[in-house]
Amino acid sequence: MKYVAMGHGAGGSLTDEIIGIARSAFASAYLNAGLDSAILPSEGERIAFTTDSFVVKPLFFPGGDIGKLAVCGTVNDLAVVGARPRFISCALILEEGLPFDELERILGSMGSAAAEAGVEVVTGDTKVVEKGRGDGIYINTSGIGFAPEGLDLSGADIEEGDALIVSGSLGDHAMTILGLREGLGFESALASDCAPLGGLVRALLDSGARVRFLRDLTRGGLAASLNELSELRGVSLEVDEEALPVKEQVRALSEILGIDVPSMANEGKIVAVVREGDADRALAAMHAHEYGRDAALVGRVVGCDAAPEPGHARVRIKTLSGALRILARPSGEKLPRIC
Protein backbone atom coordinates (compact mmCIF):
# COMPACT_ATOMS: atom_id res chain seq x y z
CA MET A 1 0.00 0.00 0.00
CA LYS A 2 1.24 3.44 -0.96
CA TYR A 3 0.73 6.58 1.12
CA VAL A 4 1.03 10.31 0.60
CA ALA A 5 4.39 11.58 1.92
CA MET A 6 5.61 15.10 2.63
CA GLY A 7 7.60 14.97 -0.61
CA HIS A 8 4.41 14.74 -2.64
CA GLY A 9 3.85 18.41 -1.95
CA ALA A 10 7.43 19.50 -2.60
CA GLY A 11 7.05 20.20 -6.30
CA GLY A 12 9.52 17.56 -7.44
CA SER A 13 9.10 14.21 -9.06
CA LEU A 14 6.85 12.95 -6.24
CA THR A 15 4.43 15.80 -6.96
CA ASP A 16 4.43 14.65 -10.57
CA GLU A 17 2.88 11.36 -9.40
CA ILE A 18 -0.13 13.25 -8.10
CA ILE A 19 -0.29 15.44 -11.19
CA GLY A 20 -0.32 12.23 -13.21
CA ILE A 21 -3.32 10.88 -11.31
CA ALA A 22 -5.12 14.21 -11.69
CA ARG A 23 -4.44 14.40 -15.41
CA SER A 24 -5.82 10.95 -16.03
CA ALA A 25 -8.87 11.63 -13.81
CA PHE A 26 -9.67 15.02 -15.33
CA ALA A 27 -8.72 14.49 -18.98
CA SER A 28 -8.45 18.20 -19.75
CA ALA A 29 -6.33 19.66 -22.53
CA TYR A 30 -6.05 22.91 -20.53
CA LEU A 31 -4.67 21.00 -17.55
CA ASN A 32 -2.37 18.92 -19.74
CA ALA A 33 -0.93 22.08 -21.27
CA GLY A 34 1.03 22.38 -18.00
CA LEU A 35 1.14 26.19 -17.83
CA ASP A 36 1.09 28.11 -14.55
CA SER A 37 -2.37 29.37 -15.46
CA ALA A 38 -4.94 27.81 -17.74
CA ILE A 39 -5.76 30.11 -20.66
CA LEU A 40 -9.47 29.76 -21.29
CA PRO A 41 -11.77 30.83 -24.12
CA SER A 42 -14.42 33.45 -23.39
CA GLU A 43 -17.97 32.73 -24.45
CA GLY A 44 -18.90 36.37 -24.86
CA GLU A 45 -21.29 36.55 -21.91
CA ARG A 46 -21.09 37.66 -18.31
CA ILE A 47 -18.64 35.63 -16.24
CA ALA A 48 -19.82 33.99 -13.02
CA PHE A 49 -17.00 33.15 -10.61
CA THR A 50 -17.24 31.33 -7.27
CA THR A 51 -15.15 29.36 -4.77
CA ASP A 52 -15.77 26.85 -2.00
CA SER A 53 -13.74 24.63 0.33
CA PHE A 54 -14.63 21.13 1.49
CA VAL A 55 -13.69 19.52 4.81
CA VAL A 56 -16.38 16.83 5.19
CA LYS A 57 -15.90 14.00 7.67
CA PRO A 58 -16.06 11.09 6.81
CA LEU A 59 -14.44 11.39 3.37
CA PHE A 60 -16.59 8.65 1.84
CA PHE A 61 -20.31 8.27 2.38
CA PRO A 62 -23.27 6.63 0.63
CA GLY A 63 -24.13 8.75 -2.41
CA GLY A 64 -20.73 10.38 -2.77
CA ASP A 65 -17.42 11.43 -1.31
CA ILE A 66 -15.49 14.64 -0.70
CA GLY A 67 -14.43 14.74 -4.38
CA LYS A 68 -17.94 14.60 -5.81
CA LEU A 69 -19.03 17.12 -3.18
CA ALA A 70 -16.22 19.51 -4.16
CA VAL A 71 -17.35 19.52 -7.80
CA CYS A 72 -21.10 19.66 -7.15
CA GLY A 73 -20.85 22.41 -4.53
CA THR A 74 -19.09 24.81 -6.85
CA VAL A 75 -21.04 23.82 -9.96
CA ASN A 76 -24.32 24.38 -8.12
CA ASP A 77 -23.26 27.83 -6.94
CA LEU A 78 -22.71 28.72 -10.61
CA ALA A 79 -25.95 27.10 -11.75
CA VAL A 80 -28.24 28.96 -9.34
CA VAL A 81 -27.15 32.36 -10.60
CA GLY A 82 -28.19 31.19 -14.06
CA ALA A 83 -24.68 30.50 -15.34
CA ARG A 84 -23.57 27.51 -17.42
CA PRO A 85 -20.75 25.97 -15.36
CA ARG A 86 -17.67 25.54 -17.60
CA PHE A 87 -14.33 25.44 -15.76
CA ILE A 88 -13.23 24.57 -12.25
CA SER A 89 -9.97 24.41 -10.34
CA CYS A 90 -8.91 21.75 -7.86
CA ALA A 91 -6.62 22.63 -4.95
CA LEU A 92 -5.74 19.76 -2.62
CA ILE A 93 -4.40 19.90 0.91
CA LEU A 94 -3.36 16.36 1.71
CA GLU A 95 -2.40 14.92 5.07
CA GLU A 96 0.76 12.87 5.13
CA GLY A 97 -0.25 9.20 5.31
CA LEU A 98 -3.39 9.41 3.17
CA PRO A 99 -3.56 6.10 1.28
CA PHE A 100 -2.95 6.63 -2.43
CA ASP A 101 -5.90 4.48 -3.41
CA GLU A 102 -8.20 6.84 -1.46
CA LEU A 103 -6.70 9.83 -3.26
CA GLU A 104 -7.23 8.08 -6.60
CA ARG A 105 -10.84 7.27 -5.73
CA ILE A 106 -11.52 10.86 -4.72
CA LEU A 107 -9.94 12.37 -7.85
CA GLY A 108 -11.71 9.76 -9.98
CA SER A 109 -15.05 10.73 -8.55
CA MET A 110 -14.23 14.42 -9.10
CA GLY A 111 -13.57 13.53 -12.74
CA SER A 112 -16.89 11.67 -13.11
CA ALA A 113 -18.85 14.44 -11.40
CA ALA A 114 -17.16 17.07 -13.59
CA ALA A 115 -18.00 15.08 -16.71
CA GLU A 116 -21.64 14.79 -15.66
CA ALA A 117 -21.80 18.49 -14.85
CA GLY A 118 -20.18 19.47 -18.16
CA VAL A 119 -17.26 21.28 -16.52
CA GLU A 120 -13.56 20.80 -17.09
CA VAL A 121 -11.01 20.76 -14.28
CA VAL A 122 -8.45 23.06 -15.85
CA THR A 123 -5.97 23.92 -13.11
CA GLY A 124 -4.91 22.67 -9.73
CA ASP A 125 -2.46 22.61 -6.86
CA THR A 126 -1.25 20.14 -4.23
CA LYS A 127 0.13 20.76 -0.77
CA VAL A 128 0.91 18.20 1.92
CA VAL A 129 0.76 18.82 5.68
CA GLU A 130 2.30 16.68 8.45
CA LYS A 131 0.39 13.72 9.80
CA GLY A 132 -2.02 14.91 12.49
CA ARG A 133 -2.38 18.38 10.93
CA GLY A 134 -5.26 17.54 8.61
CA ASP A 135 -8.05 15.02 8.15
CA GLY A 136 -6.81 13.09 5.14
CA ILE A 137 -7.75 15.64 2.52
CA TYR A 138 -9.23 19.09 2.17
CA ILE A 139 -10.30 20.33 -1.25
CA ASN A 140 -10.89 23.82 -2.58
CA THR A 141 -12.56 24.33 -5.93
CA SER A 142 -13.21 27.58 -7.75
CA GLY A 143 -15.48 27.73 -10.76
CA ILE A 144 -16.19 29.84 -13.80
CA GLY A 145 -19.46 29.86 -15.71
CA PHE A 146 -21.12 32.03 -18.32
CA ALA A 147 -24.43 33.76 -17.71
CA PRO A 148 -26.67 35.23 -20.41
CA GLU A 149 -27.13 39.00 -20.39
CA GLY A 150 -30.34 40.09 -18.71
CA LEU A 151 -30.99 36.95 -16.71
CA ASP A 152 -31.54 37.97 -13.08
CA LEU A 153 -32.25 35.31 -10.46
CA SER A 154 -31.51 37.50 -7.46
CA GLY A 155 -35.12 37.95 -6.40
CA ALA A 156 -35.27 41.66 -7.30
CA ASP A 157 -38.69 41.28 -8.95
CA ILE A 158 -40.40 39.01 -6.40
CA GLU A 159 -44.14 39.63 -6.03
CA GLU A 160 -46.69 38.69 -3.43
CA GLY A 161 -48.23 35.32 -4.26
CA ASP A 162 -45.09 33.93 -5.90
CA ALA A 163 -44.60 30.20 -5.35
CA LEU A 164 -41.80 28.63 -3.28
CA ILE A 165 -40.67 25.37 -4.84
CA VAL A 166 -38.05 22.92 -3.57
CA SER A 167 -36.55 20.46 -6.02
CA GLY A 168 -36.79 17.32 -3.89
CA SER A 169 -36.53 15.58 -0.54
CA LEU A 170 -34.85 17.59 2.20
CA GLY A 171 -32.13 16.57 4.64
CA ASP A 172 -30.75 13.51 2.82
CA HIS A 173 -27.14 14.70 2.96
CA ALA A 174 -27.21 15.86 6.60
CA MET A 175 -28.84 12.70 7.88
CA THR A 176 -26.53 10.43 5.85
CA ILE A 177 -23.43 12.05 7.32
CA LEU A 178 -24.89 12.19 10.80
CA GLY A 179 -26.19 8.62 10.64
CA LEU A 180 -22.69 7.46 9.70
CA ARG A 181 -21.04 9.45 12.45
CA GLU A 182 -23.44 8.39 15.14
CA GLY A 183 -23.50 4.77 14.03
CA LEU A 184 -27.25 4.57 14.45
CA GLY A 185 -27.67 1.75 11.95
CA PHE A 186 -29.77 3.78 9.49
CA GLU A 187 -26.85 4.05 7.10
CA SER A 188 -27.97 1.43 4.61
CA ALA A 189 -31.26 3.16 3.97
CA LEU A 190 -29.80 6.62 3.39
CA ALA A 191 -27.70 8.27 0.71
CA SER A 192 -26.48 11.81 0.23
CA ASP A 193 -28.31 13.76 -2.48
CA CYS A 194 -24.99 15.24 -3.68
CA ALA A 195 -25.51 16.02 -7.39
CA PRO A 196 -24.63 18.64 -10.03
CA LEU A 197 -27.73 20.70 -10.70
CA GLY A 198 -26.84 22.62 -13.84
CA GLY A 199 -29.13 20.44 -15.95
CA LEU A 200 -32.06 20.78 -13.60
CA VAL A 201 -31.68 24.56 -13.48
CA ARG A 202 -31.49 24.71 -17.28
CA ALA A 203 -34.64 22.58 -17.57
CA LEU A 204 -36.42 24.93 -15.18
CA LEU A 205 -35.30 28.09 -17.01
CA ASP A 206 -36.10 26.56 -20.41
CA SER A 207 -39.64 25.69 -19.28
CA GLY A 208 -40.62 29.33 -19.75
CA ALA A 209 -41.68 29.69 -16.12
CA ARG A 210 -40.75 33.10 -14.75
CA VAL A 211 -38.07 32.25 -12.18
CA ARG A 212 -37.38 35.13 -9.79
CA PHE A 213 -34.85 33.60 -7.43
CA LEU A 214 -32.77 30.44 -7.08
CA ARG A 215 -30.51 29.15 -4.35
CA ASP A 216 -28.94 25.80 -3.62
CA LEU A 217 -29.87 24.49 -0.20
CA THR A 218 -26.62 23.66 1.57
CA ARG A 219 -25.70 24.34 5.21
CA GLY A 220 -28.65 25.61 7.21
CA GLY A 221 -31.03 24.13 4.65
CA LEU A 222 -34.27 25.72 3.56
CA ALA A 223 -34.55 27.71 6.80
CA ALA A 224 -31.26 29.51 6.18
CA SER A 225 -31.93 30.18 2.48
CA LEU A 226 -35.39 31.60 3.04
CA ASN A 227 -34.20 33.83 5.86
CA GLU A 228 -31.41 35.14 3.65
CA LEU A 229 -33.92 35.87 0.90
CA SER A 230 -36.26 37.56 3.33
CA GLU A 231 -33.52 39.83 4.63
CA LEU A 232 -32.07 40.52 1.19
CA ARG A 233 -35.38 41.53 -0.41
CA GLY A 234 -37.57 42.48 2.54
CA VAL A 235 -40.13 39.84 1.65
CA SER A 236 -42.34 37.79 3.97
CA LEU A 237 -42.51 34.09 3.27
CA GLU A 238 -44.74 31.31 4.49
CA VAL A 239 -43.88 27.60 4.29
CA ASP A 240 -46.20 24.65 4.87
CA GLU A 241 -44.34 22.01 6.89
CA GLU A 242 -46.69 19.28 5.69
CA ALA A 243 -45.83 20.02 2.05
CA LEU A 244 -42.07 19.58 2.53
CA PRO A 245 -40.81 16.48 0.73
CA VAL A 246 -38.97 14.29 3.25
CA LYS A 247 -37.93 10.66 3.02
CA GLU A 248 -39.31 8.41 5.74
CA GLN A 249 -35.84 7.38 7.00
CA VAL A 250 -34.74 11.02 7.16
CA ARG A 251 -37.84 11.95 9.10
CA ALA A 252 -37.29 9.07 11.52
CA LEU A 253 -33.68 10.04 12.14
CA SER A 254 -34.57 13.71 12.52
CA GLU A 255 -37.12 12.77 15.20
CA ILE A 256 -34.50 10.75 17.09
CA LEU A 257 -31.87 13.47 16.89
CA GLY A 258 -34.24 16.38 17.43
CA ILE A 259 -33.19 18.23 14.29
CA ASP A 260 -35.87 19.94 12.26
CA VAL A 261 -36.11 19.08 8.57
CA PRO A 262 -36.07 22.68 7.26
CA SER A 263 -32.68 23.38 8.84
CA MET A 264 -30.96 20.25 7.58
CA ALA A 265 -28.20 20.49 4.96
CA ASN A 266 -28.57 19.26 1.39
CA GLU A 267 -26.06 18.97 -1.46
CA GLY A 268 -28.34 18.43 -4.44
CA LYS A 269 -31.42 20.57 -3.89
CA ILE A 270 -32.53 24.05 -4.84
CA VAL A 271 -35.28 26.38 -3.78
CA ALA A 272 -36.94 28.43 -6.51
CA VAL A 273 -39.24 31.42 -6.30
CA VAL A 274 -41.52 31.28 -9.34
CA ARG A 275 -44.33 33.54 -10.58
CA GLU A 276 -47.63 32.37 -9.09
CA GLY A 277 -49.21 31.32 -12.37
CA ASP A 278 -46.09 29.50 -13.53
CA ALA A 279 -45.78 27.09 -10.59
CA ASP A 280 -47.30 24.11 -12.43
CA ARG A 281 -45.12 24.64 -15.47
CA ALA A 282 -42.00 24.89 -13.28
CA LEU A 283 -42.97 21.78 -11.32
CA ALA A 284 -43.61 19.80 -14.50
CA ALA A 285 -40.18 20.72 -15.86
CA MET A 286 -38.50 19.72 -12.61
CA HIS A 287 -40.47 16.47 -12.29
CA ALA A 288 -39.23 15.46 -15.74
CA HIS A 289 -35.61 15.79 -14.62
CA GLU A 290 -33.72 13.09 -12.75
CA TYR A 291 -32.82 15.45 -9.88
CA GLY A 292 -36.24 17.07 -9.58
CA ARG A 293 -38.63 14.13 -9.46
CA ASP A 294 -39.86 14.94 -5.97
CA ALA A 295 -40.07 18.70 -6.48
CA ALA A 296 -42.92 20.26 -4.54
CA LEU A 297 -44.68 23.54 -4.00
CA VAL A 298 -43.96 24.25 -0.35
CA GLY A 299 -45.06 27.80 0.28
CA ARG A 300 -45.73 31.35 -0.90
CA VAL A 301 -44.42 34.86 -0.81
CA VAL A 302 -47.00 36.52 1.43
CA GLY A 303 -45.72 40.08 1.44
CA CYS A 304 -43.04 42.16 -0.20
CA ASP A 305 -43.67 45.78 0.67
CA ALA A 306 -41.18 46.28 3.49
CA ALA A 307 -37.64 47.57 3.26
CA PRO A 308 -35.09 44.94 4.21
CA GLU A 309 -34.33 45.07 7.91
CA PRO A 310 -31.23 43.20 9.01
CA GLY A 311 -32.03 40.78 11.82
CA HIS A 312 -35.74 40.93 11.19
CA ALA A 313 -36.48 38.00 8.97
CA ARG A 314 -40.12 37.39 8.37
CA VAL A 315 -40.28 33.73 7.49
CA ARG A 316 -43.02 31.65 9.01
CA ILE A 317 -43.88 27.98 8.87
CA LYS A 318 -47.28 26.39 9.29
CA THR A 319 -46.34 23.53 11.61
CA LEU A 320 -47.80 20.04 11.49
CA SER A 321 -50.27 21.18 14.15
CA GLY A 322 -51.56 23.94 11.88
CA ALA A 323 -50.06 26.75 13.98
CA LEU A 324 -47.88 29.41 12.37
CA ARG A 325 -44.51 29.95 13.98
CA ILE A 326 -41.31 31.71 13.04
CA LEU A 327 -38.93 29.65 10.94
CA ALA A 328 -35.70 30.93 12.42
CA ARG A 329 -32.32 31.02 10.75
CA PRO A 330 -30.50 28.03 12.25
CA SER A 331 -28.24 29.22 15.05
CA GLY A 332 -24.95 27.70 15.97
CA GLU A 333 -23.25 24.82 14.27
CA LYS A 334 -25.23 21.72 15.06
CA LEU A 335 -23.52 19.64 12.44
CA PRO A 336 -19.90 20.61 11.97
CA ARG A 337 -17.83 19.35 9.03
CA ILE A 338 -20.79 18.34 6.92
CA CYS A 339 -19.45 19.57 3.59
Cα distance between residue 333 and residue 171, in whole Å: 15
What element of type H or E holds 69? helix 66-79
Helix (H, G, I), strand (E, B) or coil at 315: strand
What is the smallest separation between the CB atom of 78 and other proteins, expressed in angstroms?
31
327 lies in the site for other proteins, by CB under 8 A = yes
What is the smallest separation between the CB atom of 236 and other proteins, expressed in angstroms?
12
Q: Output 44 or 322, the one with its CB closest to other proteins.
A: 322
What is the smallest separation between the CB atom of 330 and other proteins, expressed in angstroms?
8
What is the smallest separation between the CB atom of 97 and other proteins, expressed in angstroms?
23
**Counting beta carbons within 10 angstroms of the beta carbon of residue 236, is it exposed (0 to 12), middle (13 to 18) or buried (19 or more)?**
middle
Cα distance between residue 304 and residue 256, in whole Å: 37
319 lies in the site for other proteins, by CB under 8 A = yes
9 lies in the site for other proteins, by CB under 8 A = no
DSSP letter, residue 219:
T
212 touches 274 (CB < 8 A): yes
* Sequence-distant (≥ 6) Cβ neighbours of residue 288 within 8 angstroms: 203
Q: Output 101 or 242, the one with its CB closest to other proteins.
A: 242
Can you say whether residue 241 is alpha, beta or left, with left for phi > 0 and alpha for psi between -120 and 50 degrees?
Answer: alpha
What is the smallest separation between the CB atom of 321 and other proteins, expressed in angstroms?
4
Q: Which of 122, 313, 338, 339 binds other proteins (CB under 8 A)?
A: 313
The closest alpha carbon to 91, from 9, 173, 2, belongs to 9
Only one of the segments 16-24, 68-76, 191-199, 318-326 lies at the binding site for other proteins (rule: CB under 8 A); that segment is: 318-326
Strand partners, 61: 64
13 lies in the site for other proteins, by CB under 8 A = no
CA-CA distances (angstroms) from residue 114 to 71, 109, 111, 123? 6, 8, 5, 13
Q: Which of 49, 308, 324, 337 binds other proteins (CB under 8 A)?
A: 324
Residue type, 118: G
Q: Output 43 or 309, the one with its CB closest to other proteins.
A: 309
- Residues 222-261: x/- map of binding to other proteins (CB under 8 A)? ---------------------------------x--x-x-
329 lies in the site for other proteins, by CB under 8 A = yes
- Residues 255-274: x/- map of binding to other proteins (CB under 8 A)? x--x-x--------------
Q: Output 142 or 319, the one with its CB closest to other proteins.
A: 319
Cα distance between residue 21 and residue 98, in whole Å: 15
333 lies in the site for other proteins, by CB under 8 A = yes
Q: Output 273 or 315, the one with its CB closest to other proteins.
A: 315
Q: Which of 29, 41, 320, 336 binds other proteins (CB under 8 A)?
A: 320
Only one of the segments 6-14, 15-23, 148-156, 309-317 lies at the binding site for other proteins (rule: CB under 8 A); that segment is: 309-317
Only one of the segments 188-196, 281-289, 297-305, 311-319 lies at the binding site for other proteins (rule: CB under 8 A); that segment is: 311-319
Strand partners, 129: 95
CA-CA distances (angstroms) from residue 31 to 36, 93, 176, 295? 10, 18, 34, 37
Residue type, 66: I
307 lies in the site for other proteins, by CB under 8 A = no
Give the Cβ contact number of residue 49 at 10 Å: 12
1 lies in the site for other proteins, by CB under 8 A = no
What is the smallest separation between the CB atom of 292 and other proteins, expressed in angstroms?
27
Helix (H, G, I), strand (E, B) or coil at 338: coil
Binding site for other proteins (CB under 8 A): 255, 258, 260, 311-313, 317, 319-333
